[in-house]
Amino acid sequence: MLGLDPIIIALRIPALLIAITFHEYAHGRMAFHFGDTTAHDHRRMNLNPLNHLDPIGSLMILLVGFGWAKPVPINPARFRRFKSGLRWVSFAGPMANFILGFITLLLLTVLVQGGLVEGLFLQFLVVLMQLNILLAIFNLIPVPPLDGSKILMSFLSEKYLGYYRMVEQYAPIILIILVFTRVLGAIIFPLYNLVLSFYSLIIGLILPGF
């Protein structure tokens, strides 16, 4: 699992740039699909990692393995279908990370079994795989401003949306408490292991000889 080893932290930097860039690009691209050009208009619908870095969220990723990027500007009022648009746009970022995590693990399996990778590059691929899965799971937690909160909102009736918006103002404090009391880690890391086991099962079916 991710740790505070200086080499691992250094390897997280390029892994972080890859993970958050595809995460935010996926949000912008899905929003564009649903009719919202806001990300495109603000020149955020691209793969330039410097456009997507959030200082605090990036520091969290480097130190504890999960955090957030600078959100791509989205205007849900411009979606052709509001609720389904909000749901899929919010899910697009975590899904991009799940896909990247799976592809990286698949590549790792082939390279390691073939004896084609070792040393720092091997460590980098492991960190990239871990970071993408952790980032995806973290962002699916239904606490604002994380993607999971918007997914939840897309399923709520107007009555419950009102209650949810009342809690929303306290969300940053709730999030900080969850991180520093390690409650969040107790939720995220078991889910990480579950996802990793599922990926390994799928790869075993795809590559039965490995």
pLDDT of residue 65: 61
pLDDT tens, 158-210? 777 777 777 777 777 887 787 778 888 888 999 999 999 999 999 999 888 65
Tell me whether residue 118 is one of the annotated catalytic residues.
no
Which of the residues 24, 118, 158, 168 is marked catalytic? 24
Q: Which domain holds residue 62?
A: 6-206
Give CA–CA dist 169/148, Å, rounded.
16
Q: What is the pTM of this model?
A: 0.86
Q: Is residue 109 part of a domain?
A: yes
Q: Is residue 73 part of a domain?
A: yes
Q: Is residue 18 part of a domain?
A: yes
Identify the CA nearest to 76 among candidates 86, 65, 67.
Answer: 86
pLDDT tens, 36-92? 999 888 888 878 777 777 777 777 776 766 666 777 888 888 988 888 999 999 999
Identify the CA nearest to 130 among candidates 180, 61, 186.
Answer: 61
Q: Is residue 106 part of a domain?
A: yes
Q: Is residue 75 part of a domain?
A: yes
pLDDT tens, 79-107? 888 889 999 999 999 999 999 999 999 99
Q: Is the pLDDT of residue 139 over 80?
A: yes
Q: Is residue 1 part of a domain?
A: no
Q: How many structural domains does the chain have?
A: 1
